[in-house]
A and B are shown apart, each in its own frame.
Chain A
Amino acid sequence: DVKVTQSSRYLVKRTGEKVFLECVQDMDHENMFWYRQDPGLGLRLIYFSYDVKMKEKGDIPEGYSVSREKKERFSLILESASTNQTSMYLCASRWNYGYTFGSGTRLTVV
Chain B
Amino acid sequence: SQQGEEDPQALSIQEGENATMNCSYKTSINNLQWYRQNSGRGLVHLILIRSNEREKHSGRLRVTLDTSKKSSSLLITASRAADTASYFCATDLNNAGNMLTFGGGTRLMVKP
- Is there a chain A Cβ closer than 8 Å to B25's Cβ? no
**A87-110 vs B, Cβ < 8 Å mask (1 yes, 0 no):** 010101010011111111010000
- Is there a chain A Cβ closer than 8 Å to B44's Cβ? yes
Which residue on chain B has the smallest CB distance to residue A45? B99
Q: How far is the CB of B107 from chain A (nearest CB, A)?
A: 10
* Contact (A42, B99) CB under 8 Å given A97-B33, A103-B42, A104-B40: no
* Contact (A103, B102) CB under 8 Å given A97-B31, A97-B33: no
- Is there a chain B Cβ closer than 8 Å to A62's Cβ? no
Q: How far is the CB of B42 from chain A (nearest CB, A)?
A: 3
- Is there a chain B Cβ closer than 8 Å to A28's Cβ? no
| Number of A-B residue pairs having CB atoms within 8 Å of each other in the complex | 54
Q: B42–A102 contact, CB under 8 A?
A: yes
Apart from A100-B45, A102-B42, 8 more pairs, CB < 8 Å: A4-B42, A30-B98, A42-B88, A97-B48, A98-B100, A101-B42, A103-B41, A104-B40
Offer 27 A-B interface pairs, CB within 8 angstroms, sorted by A. A4-B42, A6-B42, A30-B98, A31-B98, A33-B99, A40-B104, A42-B2, A42-B102, A42-B105, A43-B43, A43-B88, A43-B102, A45-B99, A50-B98, A92-B42, A92-B43, A97-B92, A98-B33, A98-B45, A98-B100, A99-B35, A99-B45, A99-B100, A101-B35, A103-B42, A104-B41, A106-B40
